[in-house]
Amino acid sequence: MKFGWLTLAASPSPGEDAARIDQQIAQACFAEQLGFDDIWLTEHYFTGESVYNDALIFAAALAMRTTKIRIGFAVVQMPFHHPVRLAVQLALLDNLSKGRIDVGIGKGTVYNEYEFVGHGLRSDDSRARLEESLEILDRIWTESPLSYRGKYYNIDVPQLRPRPVQQPGPPLWRSVVSPSSFTDCGRRGIPILTSRLGVVRLKERWALYEAGLREGGHDAATRARLLAQSALWRNVYVAGTDAQATDELSRQLLNARAHIMHLREAYNPADFVIDPAHLNPFSDPAVGDDAALDYMLASGCIYGSVKRVKEQVAEILDAGVHHLLCQTGFGDMSHEDNIASMRRFGEQVMPAFQS
């Protein structure tokens, strides 16, 4: 089994941003030291929800401070990036890291419309922008020169330099939620990133992905590679006892939920309404804290003592997942508590599942 370390690092106030960024770098380096296979960076803007904001620049800093661990994006919010500029940045990152970059892509947040507004956009056409940008990104790795005419971009690129180390370019992953998206990505042979699925539903969705791989005509070796590569994101907290982990994680999750709800109420435009299809009990403001917490603990978290966490990881492996992305920091959790949980997981849990 492979293990990734994922950071969605919030900062409580502007005065703490610089220290939190330094702590993120230290935690990423510690993840490599512990033997995690990859680091995954999130992308959010303006409110400290993701303290480093610009995941691409932050990845460059990590590329220069690490040597073996891969560096991925979960995910690049494609509408916020010009596709040619993104291709140039990713190619340089792949060179700086000596070929260690993975690129998860998505159409952008479905909750934080203020992020679109801050970039001079609205989310109505985010999927169309994603698909056009993805076509350019796919072609720019292999076509020289590249000429493209679309709805959002009209470009003529003589050639891309430097070329990425990984050929034709860094692997592109898709963030998936709906059952049909699992099947579709399987048919197309695209590695997937997903989250917040209970074990029963997770097993069902992974079976859909595998069925899509077969429908797409991919050979056995390709199917095995993509199934091993595709990943599940979980909040992970390991404490001395089950009770301690439950109490601390619950407090952090409820604090984070209250903060996120406040930001959306304060900054989302008055005419924006979240599509009900995208709401879950944790993200729906109409759902009370108790029900929201029960949902998140059951479908989005691995937590407890070392013994209990091992049991939960084994359940995920049994569901067919061979790549677990571990978010170890939440809310206003201290750097010290995060490091302690990472150490327990890296030293006492991961070795039981690594070949």
Give a yes or no: residue 17 inside a domain: yes
Q: At a CB cut-off of 8 Å and minimum separation 6, what does 262 contact?
A: none
Give a yes or no: residue 263 inside a domain: no
CB 313 within 8 A of CB 324: yes
Give a yes or no: residue 266 inside a domain: no
Give a yes or no: residue 255 inside a domain: no
Encode pLDDT of 188-211 as tens digits. Answer: 999 999 999 999 999 999 999 999
The one-letter code for the residue type at 94 is D
Mean of all residue pLDDT scores within the chain: 97
Closest to 253 measured CA to CA, from 136, 332, 140, 172: 332
Question: pTM for this structure?
Answer: 0.96
Q: Residue range 88-113: average pLDDT?
A: 98
Closest to 256 measured CA to CA, from 36, 12, 69: 12
Neighbours of 236 (CB within 10 A): 28
Q: Residue range 289-296: average pLDDT?
A: 97
pLDDT at residue 183 tops 90 = yes
What are the Cα distances from residue 274, in Å, to 113, 125, 270, 285, 314? Answer: 9, 15, 11, 11, 35
Give a yes or no: residue 197 inside a domain: yes
Angle at 73 between CA 141 and CA 340, to 5 degrees: 150
Give a yes or no: residue 259 inside a domain: no
Q: Residue range 242-248: average pLDDT?
A: 98
pLDDT at residue 159 tops 90 = yes
Which range marks the domain in which residue 154 is found? Answer: 2-244+300-352
pLDDT the model gives residue 131: 96
Q: How confident is the model at residue 332 (pLDDT cuts 50, 70, 90)?
A: confident
Q: How confident is the model at residue 165 (pLDDT cuts 50, 70, 90)?
A: very high
Give a yes or no: residue 268 inside a domain: no
pLDDT the model gives residue 331: 80
pLDDT at residue 355 tops 80 = no
What total number of domains does the chain contain?
Answer: 1
Give a yes or no: residue 254 inside a domain: no
The C-alpha atoms of residue 44 and residue 51 are separated, in whole angstroms, by 8
Q: Residue range 300-312: average pLDDT?
A: 98
pLDDT the model gives residue 9: 87
Encode pLDDT of 70-88 as tens digits. Answer: 999 999 999 999 999 999 9
Q: Residue range 241-250: average pLDDT?
A: 97
Residue 73's beta-bridge partner residues? 41, 103
CATH of the domain at 167: 3.20.20.30
